[in-house]
Structure 1
């Protein structure tokens, strides 16, 4: 099915919903690759840090999420700041610096995890979150800049996303779950 869509995306004369031809643009392809790595590292951290909290520090229950909260605190500060800085200075140097610092901090943690006190591990993961956000946020900003430079892709994808959300919201409302978007609110804004 994936191979059939790839063939369709490259051979159709109309703009496909997910235009794979964007991957020919080096800045877009690099941003997608970095975002894939960011997702992989983030998934690894959010799944392994509670286990490390249990194994290394004897944390149980909600306390196991302490290291993830420390990471989140750093991300909370650096994600919005990283986007603004990359808008002024460019993303490339910020992403490289953030990735290098993140790798160094994670290597430090890997080398010292067995004997690192919990408070020091929390401080370390706040720093990891700060540096990791300086990698993730500018990369997302680069993706949006690339997509916005070619607006026909946005005009093609946004209505299909909206239609999916609208149908899902109305269906959930009929089943007694939380109601979907109010009639006319989102639709009116998307048609402008």
Structure 2
């Protein structure tokens, strides 16, 4: 990397050298670790319940606490990166995540586990947005797109490989390794980051911390996600869940009013939505997250209840979607992301997802080979959405605003996944209660997924129709 890169300034070169690629892989390693942990523990909930002598509903708080901490921490990532420097915040987030992981492995009760998962989630919530903003700033606009084709697929892989990794660990080791596995990965990522990731200085003109916005936004997101998650669970408390959703929506509405009227820079600036490419990009990313996370909720449940597979076997059946995402990212998106209009890539991606979702509406008639092929195509389509969308934002936003934009995109991904999962869970339960067999109920849920994708396809026409290189 050149001297300019070592000072944190973007290098307007189109060549991706080995050091820059290695740096991006290090940042991806941290992001993947945090994203994977959000799903890997779900496989071990029953085992944890036996270990602590608690009901699965009590142990479920281990997953809920992590998710709530993630969405509470993510909005602050932009301000922290500006105030202390992105690399310092990223390293601190990895350290906090590792401390939380070790504490979780040493937990002695469900209560202590939930508390330590909050600590872990605070670090995990900072990692993806800080890492992506750091990568975009160091790479510069000429190379951000191709690097984002590597980074952008990571959040989509977590719900695919999480159950498989969790099942494998429980087969060969104790439940503690659901958390201890993060330690070697995190330490390697930190050591390599100190060597490879350049220091990005803190901003000289940092706005005061938006305390009022933080008081409204973080609790509002946490309440909304909690309510949606509880609505999607089988043992839900409907009154509590609806109350939490209403409180969360009210706090978020109050934050919106505050952010629009504030003379200072808000924690997350909704005025970014005035920019047509940004608003269309947010819609595409939201629906893609809802589709991927929602499908990864529905399919394991169907494979275990409808086809009698174990959790490990179900995870193995879902792996082709991750393989398709990696292949599409490296073989399709990476060489085309700067030469083809974003709208073209995203539209083709949604067409592939729609084509691969249609067979899922008839799962009872879909053989295993057909399901594998369907998930491969779905994975390729998914890879063609996230990276071009992030490239639109990162290549069009002023360098000083990168941390704030990255924070907003991470929130869209988290909330989209939670809304998709909870909405489909409620729809599935209603369909089962109304009557009909399991196959018909899952078919209805996947028709809903199909409708979401068609809506996103229509909205994607607003994306830029000029390639980043031509712009």
Identify whether the pair has TM-score above 0.5, normalized to the shorter chain.
Answer: yes
Question: 2: distance between equivalents of 1:78 and 1:120?
Answer: 19
Distance 1:156 1:116, change over 3 A: closer
Distance 1:8 1:95, change over 3 A: same
Within the candidate set 131, 142, 145, 2:392 is matched to 142
Secondary structure (helix, strand or coil) at the match of 2:337 reads: helix
Q: Hey, what does 1:151 align to over in structure 2?
A: 399
Secondary structure (helix, strand or coil) at the match of 1:114 reads: helix
Question: 2: distance between equivalents of 1:19 and 1:41?
Answer: 26
Question: 1: distance between equivalents of 2:302 and 2:377?
Answer: 17
Q: Hey, what does 1:82 align to over in structure 2?
A: 333
Q: Hey, what does 1:167 align to over in structure 2?
A: none
Matches within 5 A, 1:29-108: 29-80=279-330, 81-108=332-359
Which string of whole-angstrom CA distances, capped at 9 and with x for unpartnered residues, describes residues 34-54 of structure 1? 111011001111111112222
Which string of whole-angstrom CA distances, capped at 9 and with x for unpartnered residues, describes residues 98-149 of structure 1? 10121011112323x2122212211221111112211222122222223xx3
Query: Would the aligned equivalents of 1:79 and 1:136 in 2 still touch at CA under 8 Å?
Result: no
| TM-score between both structures, scaled by the size of structure 2 | 0.31
Distance 1:156 1:131, change over 3 A: closer
Query: Would the aligned equivalents of 2:300 and 2:314 in 1 still touch at CA under 8 Å?
Result: yes
Question: 1: distance between equivalents of 2:268 and 2:373?
Answer: 41
Q: Hey, what does 2:139 align to over in structure 1?
A: none
| TM-score between both structures, scaled by the size of structure 1 | 0.72
**How far off is 1:155 after superposition?**
5.9
Secondary structure (helix, strand or coil) at the match of 1:18 reads: coil
**How far off is 1:156 after superposition?**
6.0
Superposed CA RMSD = 2.1
Deviates more, 1:23-32 or 1:123-132: 123-132
**How far off is 1:83 after superposition?**
4.7
Query: Would the aligned equivalents of 1:94 and 1:134 in 2 still touch at CA under 8 Å?
Result: yes
Query: Would the aligned equivalents of 1:49 and 1:65 in 2 still touch at CA under 8 Å?
Result: no
Question: 2: distance between equivalents of 1:2 and 1:145?
Answer: 28
Secondary structure (helix, strand or coil) at the match of 2:365 reads: coil
Distance 1:102 1:90, change over 3 A: same
Distance 1:57 1:156, change over 3 A: closer
Question: 1: distance between equivalents of 2:334 and 2:256?
Answer: 32
**How far off is 1:76 after superposition?**
1.4
Q: Give ranges in structure 1 of 5+ residues lacking alignment.
A: 159-192
Query: Would the aligned equivalents of 1:17 and 1:157 in 2 still touch at CA under 8 Å?
Result: no
